[in-house]
Amino acid sequence: MFSLLIALLMGLKGQCQDEPESVRCGYRPAFPNTSWLPFREMLEVQDGEFPWQVSIQMSQRHLCGGSIIHRWWVLTAAHCFPKTLFDMAAVNVTVVMGAKAFSDIHLERKQVQKIIIHKDYRPPYLDSDLALLLLATPVQFTPFKMPICLQGKEMSWDRCWMAEWVSAYGYGVSQNMQLQKLRVSQLSWKACSARVEQLSRKMLCAWQEMDTNGNCWGDSGAPMVCANWGTQRLFQVGVFSWGLSSGSRGRPGMFVSVAQFIPWIQEETQKEGRAYTLSGGPESSLTCGPQGLLALGLGSQVLLAAMLT
């Protein structure tokens, strides 16, 4: 009887793990918990530290940064795909993921099936500077490929980072690129509007956190991710849009506010039959569908019968 129960529960476990949405967003399984928010943070990106970060490439050359938000979807900036490139983009654009450097053994390349530009994006105005990339095949999540949670509403955070792809041979060189990070802090809209003319309410501002090292050139489409003290879950707050020497003091980097575009993300992904669902608070990493719940109920009955005989 117990052997039957064990077999049943093992089958249930496999079924639950196969559920595509069972992976918890915003966590970093390969990044040691002891390294979370260290007092003296290492500038070099560690293995699995930003498992949602991707390089969007055209003809295998880095074009923009982006983030995995779902097994089918990557979020980036719309201005990465000007009209001159858009017509040929779908067949030439790939996404590199699962790596902190282009030489990484964990690197995986996926073809982009469709590029969706926000309907209100009107260059040179960047108020709605967002794009969604539908992948040709779904991401198989591993400790080095994880989705980032999206911020459902604007709020204040204790600590934020921006990571971007750079080359040791100079900015703009696509070979042997690697991730570097910068700790940033958000400015209030009022403080930022004093530095940026005609600041849109759909934009967020951030610059380098005081007393920290590092520098960012400004990788279009790169995510700004944030967390609160005492937690290990990160949320994407913004998508980098523009700003010279992003994050430097005196000239903030400009990010599209993700929270204000959640309805658009849900609407567009639903149209493609690959709906994005906003994640709530931390939940169990083992998620079961109705069949799983039925099997669990049956397993409980078997266990009870075994205990009574």
Strand 235-242, strand 149-150: pairing:
parallel
pLDDT of residue 301: 38
> What values do phi and psi take at 192, rounded to 5?
-75, -40
Measured between alpha carbons, how far is 150 from 227 in angstroms, rounded to an integer? 12
> In terms of C-beta density within 10 A (0-12 exposed, 13-18 middle, 19 or more buried), how is residue 230 classed?
exposed
Confirm whether 305 is domain-assigned.
Answer: no
Confirm whether 181 is domain-assigned.
Answer: yes
Domain that holds residue 189: 41-271
pLDDT of residue 36: 53
pLDDT of residue 1: 44
Confirm whether 260 is domain-assigned.
Answer: yes
pLDDT of residue 104: 86
Q: How many CB atoms lie within 10 A of CB 242?
A: 18
Going residue by residue through the chain, which has 309 residues, state the pLDDT in tens, using 9 for 90 and above. 444 444 444 444 433 333 445 688 999 999 876 555 554 455 678 889 999 999 999 888 899 999 999 999 999 999 999 865 665 556 689 999 999 999 888 899 999 999 999 999 988 888 899 999 999 999 999 999 999 999 989 898 988 999 999 886 655 445 689 999 988 999 888 888 888 887 888 999 998 777 676 666 678 999 999 999 888 899 999 999 987 554 555 568 899 999 999 999 999 999 999 999 987 543 333 333 333 333 333 333 333 333 333
Confirm whether 231 is domain-assigned.
Answer: yes
Reported for 12-19, long-range contacts at CB under 8 A and 24+ positions apart, including other chains, are 12/288, 12/292, 12/295, 12/296, 12/299, 13/286, 15/288, 15/289, 15/291, 15/292, 15/295, 16/286, 16/287, 16/288, 16/292, 17/286, 19/287, 19/288, 19/289, 19/292
pLDDT of residue 218: 75
First to last CA, the chain: 10
> What values do phi and psi take at 10, rounded to 5?
-65, -40
Q: What is the pTM of this model?
A: 0.80
Confirm whether 47 is domain-assigned.
Answer: yes
pLDDT of residue 279: 74
Measured between alpha carbons, how far is 64 from 218 in angstroms, rounded to an integer? 10
What is the domain count for the chain? 1
Active site residues: 79, 129, 220
Measured between alpha carbons, how far is 268 from 210 in angstroms, rounded to an integer? 38
Confirm whether 29 is domain-assigned.
Answer: no
CB 79 within 8 A of CB 129: yes
Tens of pLDDT, residue by residue over 157-211, are 988 999 999 886 655 445 689 999 988 999 888 888 888 887 888 999 998 777 6
CB 74 within 8 A of CB 133: yes
Q: What is the CATH number of the domain that holds 206?
A: 2.40.10.10
Confirm whether 215 is domain-assigned.
Answer: yes
Confirm whether 56 is domain-assigned.
Answer: yes
